[in-house]
Amino acid sequence: MTIDLRSDTVTKPSKGMLEAMLKADVGDDVYKEDPTVNALEERVADMFGKPQALFFPSGSMANQAAIKLHTRPGEQLICDKYAHVFNYEGGGASFNSGVSCKLIDGTRGMFTADQVKQSINPPDFYHSPFTRLVAVENTTNKGGGACWDIEEIKRIKNVCTLNKLGFHLDGARLWNALVAKNEKPKQYGDLFETISVCFSKGLGSPIGSILTGDEALMEGAIRVRKIFGGGMRQVGYLAAAALYALDHNVERLLEDHQKAAELADVLQQLPFIKTVEPTETNIIIFELVPELSEIEFCDKLDKAGIKIISMGSNKLRMVTHLDYTDEMHAHLMKILGSLYF
Ligand SMILES: *Cc1c(COP(=O)(O)O)cnc(C)c1O
């Protein structure tokens, strides 16, 4: 048995999802004539209480389009030092939009309204880049699937309003936060001007993201998507997978969270594991004692058919997902419990 816990992106479309894809009614989406894509965009816009939404091939492209829509070259965006938009999008903020990032030294990828206030350059001080945008990530990826306190997001929103800053949510993993905290998409729609969500993480689609937002900003979104090379044709097949995922795979994320919590508990008890970070959703980040190397640890797991990833600094990550079955979970719990070095 191979158990792949490197990421929740390793899932393959289920039979039900593939059947839904096969049945999709399609058209040329560059002409906005794909009924399934249009249905998905409308559904997600409605969920968040936003007037518009646009389908993208990836979360990175949706985030990068949002940054492009909010900013002009030379300006600056504020995000956490762990932010996906800064760390894992190939330097896109500078490449695509010519903006720099002011990094906040937050906690598990999250920060406070006070920290945002302190990161804003005075708008009339022309020596510094003009601060234009704040980007929040929920759940945080590098932060170990941590969920924000929505009250803090409201305080940050106030800072943004007062200082005329744009407010973007990288919600690639927002579905996990929504089920973990029992929140509703509209609560986020009310706070952010733009929101990106992914269907290819916990929701188990092969591809696909949506950027939803306010009219004025989204007006230019289709042009930016075209410029980025993200205009696609009969992609209703992919939108059908996303619609299927929304119908079948959101509530069940709680199962992934439950399994992750159980794994974290077992890891916590192992003498060669120094710390396990709080496990709120489906990501488990843990650190080995200094005497044990990541390579030795991963080698042993690898021989047992278990794949996980290294985060550097003797930290490792496991992510539970749709294709991590009860049977795999029972097997892995047993293996971890009897691991020795
Ligand atoms: C995965 C992820 C993205 C986007 O990733 P893609 O692989 O480009 O779809 C963006 N933000 C966060 C927090 C993510 O976890």
Residues 155 and 80 in one domain: yes
Which protein residue's CA is at the shortest distance from atom 6 of ligand 1? 59
Sign of CA dihedral 325, 330, 331, 333: positive
pLDDT in tens, 131-141: 999 999 999 99
* 284: CATH: 3.90.1150.10
Q: What spacing in Å lies between the alpha carbon of 33 and ligand 1's midpoint?
A: 27
- Average pLDDT of the residues in 192-221: 97
- How do residues 90-140 score in pLDDT, each as one tens digit? 999 999 999 999 999 999 999 999 999 999 999 999 999 999 999 999 999
Q: Which atom of ligand 1 sits closest to the CA of residue 140?
A: 13
Query: What pLDDT does 70 receive?
Result: 98
Residue that terminates a domain, selected from 233, 248, 263 = 248
Same domain for 95 and 195, yes or no, is yes
Task: Report the nearest-CA residue for atom 15 of ligand 1.
Answer: 141
Taking all residues of the chain, what is their mean pLDDT, rounded to a whole number?
A: 97
Residue 274's pLDDT is 97
Residues 194 and 326 in one domain: no
Domain that holds residue 198: 15-248
How does residue 1 score in pLDDT terms, banded at 50, 70 and 90? confident
Task: Report residues whose beta carbon is within 6 angstroms of any ligand 1 atom.
Answer: 58-60, 63, 84, 137, 141, 170, 172-173, 198, 200-201, 209
Stretch 205-225: mean pLDDT: 97
> DSSP assignment of 75-93, as one string?
-EEEEETT-HHHHSSTTHH
Per-residue pLDDT at 292: 95
Pocket test for ligand 1, best of 10, 11, 58, 60 (most atoms within 8 A of CB): 60
Among 215, 248, 281, identify where a domain stops: 248
- Lowest-pLDDT choice from 35-39, 62-66, 154-158, 333-337: 333-337
**For 57-68, how does the pLDDT look when each residue is reduced to its tens digit (9 = 90+)?**
999 999 999 999
At 92 the pLDDT is 98
Look-up: residue for tokens 């496990």?
279
- Measured in whole angstroms, the distance separating CA 40 from the mean position of its chain's CA atoms is 19
Tokens of 106: 């937050």
Closest C-alpha residue for ligand 1 atom 4:
59
What separation in Å is there between the alpha carbon of 59 and the centre of ligand 1? 5
Of 248, 280, 295, the residue at which a domain comes to its end is 248
Side-chain half-sphere exposure of 277, counting CA atoms within 13 A: 23
Same domain, 94 and 232: yes
Question: Which amino acid is it at 87?
Answer: N
Same structural domain, 58 and 38: yes
Whether residues 109 and 160 fall in one domain? yes
Domain total of the chain: 2
**pLDDT band, very low/low/confident/very high, at 330 (cuts 50, 70, 90):** very high
| 58 CA closest ligand 1 atom index | 9
- Give the model's pLDDT for residue 318: 98
Q: How far is the CA of 84 from the centre of ligand 1 (A)?
A: 7
Query: Can you give the pTM of this predicted structure?
Result: 0.97
Q: What is the CATH number of the domain that holds 240?
A: 3.40.640.10
Residues 221 and 273 reside in one and the same domain? no
Q: How far is the CA of 279 from the centre of ligand 1 (A)?
A: 19
Q: Are residues 98 and 163 in the same domain?
A: yes
Local confidence band at 232 (pLDDT 50, 70, 90 cut-offs): very high
Q: Whose CA is nearest to atom 2 of ligand 1?
A: 172
How many Å lie between the centroid of ligand 1 and the Cα of residue 116?
Answer: 23
Residues 6 or more apart whose CB falls under 8 angstroms from that of 18 comprise none
Please report which confidence band the pLDDT of residue 147 belongs to, taking 50, 70 and 90 as the band edges: very high
Q: Write down the pLDDT at residue 126.
A: 96
Regarding whether 68 and 89 lie in a shared domain, the answer is yes
Instruction: Note whether 195 and 173 are same-domain residues.
Output: yes
Instruction: Compute the distance between CA of residue 290 and CA of residue 70 in angstroms, rounded to an integer.
Output: 44
119 and 227 co-located in one domain: yes
In this structure, the answer to whether residues 109 and 209 fall within a common structural domain is yes
Structure confidence at residue 59 (pLDDT): 98
Contacts of 91 (CB under 8 A, 6+ apart): none
Ligand 1 probe mutation, 10, 201, 228, most atoms within 8 A of CB? 201
